[in-house]
Structure 1
Amino acid sequence: MSTGRAAVITGIGSYVPPNVVTNDDLSQRLDTSDAWIRSRTGIAERCFITPGTSTGDLAVEAGLRALKSAGDERVGAVVLATTTPDQPCPATAPQVAARLGLGQVPAFDVSAVCSGFLYGLASAAGLIAAEVADSVLLIAADAFTTIINPEDRTTAVIFADGAGAVVLRAGSANEPGAVGPLVLGSDGELSHLIEVPAGGSRQRSTDRPVDPADRYFHMLGRETYRHAVERMTSVSAEAAERVGWRLEDVDRFAAHQANARILEAVAKRLGLPEDKQLSNIERVGNTGAASIPLLLAEATAEGRLAAGHRVLLTAFGGGLAWGAGTVVWPELQTF
């Protein structure tokens, strides 16, 4: 039975590690060039963690900024969306909550690869609707470079590390910051398009030797491109329709920063002009689950995203999993 409680964004924060890696840096060890990378991905530079830094470290930094933005020292629960947990067991979220001084609050991980932030939003909104918590810290963080083959130029030039976070509180559906209806989907029959083949129970339960390459992230780029464009286009249109918006009513389009070509294709199909598209892929690359909240935090700080803007969010990633949602952007401080 619905309580009528909506999840309302009250704070936002982000963090990228200080180690900036340019296309020229990568071209020194890979058969590639700045021109090749820019033309195929739209990326000029990205941030990599250094040895000893983990996803949890990134998450704590983004979480601190989001809590400060919201003016909160405590929340009722923590949700962490990530594909690169600090350990296979236990989940990373309880450790992050402890490091943030949040005590013994409910805390758990969500795994939906690049769609993790939107799946995390659904989880956080559910905790609030079910009155498990009156406020939730949702963090999306990935140290993607820990699962990328550094010698594979098709993935090593795209993926990077970072974290973004939002604080949500119980409120009403008609106030600024309220998360609109979320539309989520998946297709496990196509899971082979994006995967890390080894390391899980399927591989560990056999006696077969492991190909070292199978410990790294694999992606079939051409097929992934097609499905990403189709799914993000259709799910974005559905999310706008559910909240009663025409696509021309959208002020800002915040899509998972997967690849510049994908972003351009989706925006074109939706009829959203360039001045409505938020993007930071050129500077941070594809940061997995962190992509959308990192983009929203940066755009807010720079004034590209302002209070009152009607924002359409969408993402696509491994699983396959995809999603979209809407929010009228609230007045937020950034740190």
Structure 2
Amino acid sequence: MTLYSRITGTGSYLPPRRVSNDELAQELAGRGIETSNEWIVERTGIHARHFVADGVNSSDLALEACRHALEAAGRNAAEVDLIIVATSTPDMVFPSSAAILQHKLGIAGCPAFDVQAVCSGFVYALTVADAMVRTGAAKCALVVGAEVFSRILDFNDRTTCVLFGDGAGAVVLEASDTPGILASDLHADGSHVGILCVPGHVSGGQVLGTPLLHMDGQAVFKLAVRVLEEAARATLAKAGKTEADIDWLIPHQANIRIMQGTAKKLKLGLDKVIVTVHEHGNTSAASIPLALDAAVRGGQVRTGDTVMLEGVGGGFTWGAVLLNL
């Protein structure tokens, strides 16, 4: 029998603190940085984002998202035999946030590791989990995107600090005799490392370089729209599908303009695009599973729908996954 993998449950979690554009603008004004709700919305489509409290880490957000996903799938943590966490903001240098999450779930023994592909992380992690399920290495996987980007933002740079937020999303991916994950397409090009990065590291107990996010917004925009279209088309070709077969597009929630540009190139109406960036901001690896969970629980995405997930992030990394829910 041919093995496939299917998503059987989704979950997400946002920190309680919601920061509106007006509140953030007021905080930035205290630093001498001028911005406004209108300026942010016009350029990004973002109205608010969520920030963690002191002492709350990526694994804490991931834990809550996983609990919701497991409940939706009708599974308990003891049945999980693989954990993959996509994150660029791990709890610590090591061990992995996945191992820390495993312990918080009250289980032990199964493989648990992090994937670092920034905003493409969830697409990468889902592709890896799908491969492991198809080979029989796992039967019930937790695939998670979790981020606390508020900790690496430069709040003296209004072009970046207004974009990002914290959150987590998760799915339960299980072995199935019917196809769920239909195809995927992953890429990276390290020559673009300088346009989106956190150019710092720890050495001798000190931070060397800059431990805050740096981005060339225009360069990222141009590259993102092009590679997202290419990855989507490549994934469709692998699955023997066309744009007309897509019921829903769930892109990385970075910027409404990038999302609109990608939909236009794929000849999809905006009514087929799941958008949560206005409430969540850019939550990096968490953005796609957050949006998926919101769409499932909101009754938009339903069982049987064909869904295209796609992400692009620092590295530069990008990729897409086509699935039947």
TM-score of the aligned structures, taking structure 2 as reference length: 0.94
Q: From 45, 60, 63, give the equivalent of 2:63.
A: 60
Q: Deviations over 1:102-147 (max 9, x none)?
A: 2221100000000000100111112212322211111110011111
Tell me the residue number matched to 2:134: 129
Tell me the residue number matched to 1:138: 143
Tell me the residue number matched to 2:234: 238
CA contact (8 A) 2:201 2:208 kept: no
Whole-angstrom CA distance in 2 between matches of 1:86 and 1:105: 20
Q: From 16, 20, 25, give the equivalent of 2:18.
A: 20
Q: From 5, 8, 16, give the equivalent of 2:6.
A: 8
Tell me the residue number matched to 2:215: 219
CA contact (8 A) 1:8 1:172 kept: no
Does residue 48 (structure 1) correspond to residue 48 (structure 2)? The answer is no
Shift of 1:98: 1.2
Shift of 1:244: 1.6
Shift of 1:210: 4.1
Q: From 252, 255, 262, give the equivalent of 1:259.
A: 255
Structure in which a larger fraction of residues adopt strand: 2
Which SS does the other structure have where 2:19 is aligned?
A: strand
Whole-angstrom CA distance in 1 between matches of 2:220 and 2:191: 13
Structure 1: where are the runs of 5+ without partners?
330-335
Tell me the residue number matched to 1:306: 302
Which SS does the other structure have where 1:190 is aligned?
A: helix
CA contact (8 A) 1:173 1:180 kept: no
**How much is the aligned-residue C-alpha RMSD, in angstroms?**
1.6
Whole-angstrom CA distance in 2 between matches of 1:220 and 1:40: 14
Whole-angstrom CA distance in 1 between matches of 2:113 and 2:16: 27
Equivalent residues in 2 for 1:1-335, closer than 5 Å: 4-30=2-28, 31-73=34-76, 74-174=79-179, 178-199=180-201, 204=203, 210=208, 214-329=210-325
Shift of 1:172: 2.8
Whole-angstrom CA distance in 2 between matches of 1:304 and 1:151: 38
The letter of the residue matching 1:199 is: H
Shift of 1:280: 0.7
130-139 or 187-196: bigger deviation: 130-139
Whole-angstrom CA distance in 1 between matches of 2:74 and 2:302: 19
Shift of 1:237: 1.3
CA contact (8 A) 2:249 2:307 kept: yes
Whole-angstrom CA distance in 2 between matches of 1:278 and 1:134: 29
Structure 2: where are the runs of 5+ without partners?
29-33
Which SS does the other structure have where 1:199 is aligned?
A: strand
Q: Deviations over 1:187-206 (max 9, x none)?
A: 01111111111115xxx38x
Q: Deviations over 1:27-54 (max 9, x none)?
A: 1132100000000000001111011111
Whole-angstrom CA distance in 2 between matches of 1:104 and 1:16: 28
The letter of the residue matching 1:148 is: L
Tell me the residue number matched to 1:333: none
- Which stretches of structure 1, 4 residues or longer, exceed 6 Å deviation after superposition? none
Q: Deviations over 1:135-177 (max 9, x none)?
A: 1111110011111112221111100000000011111343xxx
CA contact (8 A) 2:127 2:321 kept: no
Whole-angstrom CA distance in 1 between matches of 2:262 and 2:132: 31
Whole-angstrom CA distance in 2 between matches of 1:173 and 1:260: 34
Which SS does the other structure have where 1:151 is aligned?
A: coil
Aligned pairs, how many? Answer: 318
